Amino acid sequence: MKILHVAETAKGGVGTYLAELLPLQAQSFGARNVRMLVPAAHAGHVTGVDKQMVRCWRRSGRSPLNLLRLALAIRTEVARFNPTLVHAHSSFAGAVLRMMYPSERPFRLVYCPHGWGFDRPSSHAKNRMLAMVERALASKCDEIIVISEHERSEGLRIGIPHASMSLVLNGISDGPPSLPSHWEDERLKVLFVGRLDRQKGFDTLLDAVAPLADRICVRALGEAVADPRKSRTGGEGIQLLGWRSLAEIAGEIAAADVVVVPSRWEGFGLVALEAMRGSCAVVASDVGGLREIVVDGVTGRLVPPDAPGRLMEVLSHGDRAYWKRLGKEGRRRFVSFFTAERMNADLVQVYLHLESGIADVPLGPRPLLVREVPRSRRRA
């Protein structure tokens, strides 16, 4: 089997996904049989991937011209590589590929939205239009991979058939324990990782911890991307450290007491997995895929989005022993359900099923994993 991964952007979650997946698929199928086509400017975001598997195209923004460049790059790479399966990542790559090859094509086509475009706060008209596009294109590929039960249910809601989607929950690789960064403070150490933008709810965290500066200190790894001029970026007890490498992030997680993921919307939430891998408790918004990762009162806490008062209340209760206990439970849950090896094994099952020529037989979704963990509600 020869697999070509195509991405219109490789920043953020898509880049992490590819960085986790490609080395494992190289082990499964051989490095010569796995490639990814990504923007040249984003290739550095996909770390740890053998250079022979990387092909690039020139992207200078998101415009019709750049989508045409992507289409030409896809056509060229398909002719050169002759893949048996193409895996499209996110809505733009998925749309381009499905419009280029709507029916007759020399490969199987798999599409992963990595969070539906219509499942974001926006105008009703825009989200309705995006939902119509996804519904119209759903039949133009052999399988749609959804990364959370929430994403699958939203697909069903807009009319995408159950049999068209396979649920493969995200996963990340495990590794040796990280050495904690230097972070000496008697206060509760709270870590935020991600864009300092409205979606990620950094302003909610700032409002929540402002009255607790004598009890809580915060480190933020990341920068504002969407509109840096309008983003709130600090306050008393807030350290802004900018973007950090994956190894540095793991070190900060190892030093923290709590990782907070206060997103207003989230297709999945890889930061929560990174925290659980590092045995750190998670306080996350009760939205999207986050509610499938964090078990409230067992591995962390779930709070309503855009509710700084409730977030403040949760963070102000519980001592370090309480948060450490939740972190240990989170580590157990990560090892059981959210490793990259499990994710790759599930994807390979989908690939082989399609290659066998019985793609019209539904694979069926994996069970919602959160049901496999007791929903006991332990309060601080």
User: What is the reported pLDDT for 378?
Assistant: 37
pLDDT at 246: 78
Report the C-alpha gap between 16 and 48 in whole angstroms: 10
Spatial CA neighbour of 47 closest among 176, 148, 170, 172: 172
Integer Cα distance of 12 and 10 in angstroms? 7
Q: Looking at residue 230, what is its pLDDT?
A: 54
Q: How confident is the model at residue 228 (pLDDT cuts 50, 70, 90)?
A: low
Query: Do 320 and 188 meet the contact criterion of CB atoms below 8 Å apart?
Result: yes
186-199 per-position pLDDT tens digit: 999 999 998 888 88
The model scores a pTM over 0.85: no
Structure confidence at residue 227 (pLDDT): 59
**Average pLDDT for the chain:** 88
Question: What pLDDT shows up at residue 376?
Answer: 36
**Mean per-residue pLDDT for 21-48?**
92
Question: Alpha-carbon distance 180 to 266, whole Å?
Answer: 28
Q: Could you please report the per-residue DSSP string of 255-322?
A: H-SEEEE--SS-SS-HHHHHHHHTT-EEEEES-TTHHHH--BTTTEEEE-TT-HHHHHHHHTS--HHH
Query: How far apart (Å, rounded) are the C-alpha atoms in residues 263 and 148?
Result: 16
Reported residue count of the chain is 380
| Residue 267 contacts residue 291 (beta carbons within 8 Å) | no
Angle, helix 91-100 to helix 64-81, in steps of 10 degrees: 60
State the pLDDT confidence band at 47, using cuts at 50, 70 and 90. confident
| Runs of H (alpha helix) within the chain | 12-29, 64-81, 91-100, 124-137, 149-157, 202-209, 246-255, 270-277, 290-293, 308-315, 320-337, 340-355
* CA atoms of 152 and 150, how far apart (whole Å): 5
Query: Looking at per-residue confidence, does 141 or 247 come out higher?
Result: 141
Residue 16 pLDDT more than 90? no
216's enclosing H/E stretch is strand 216-221
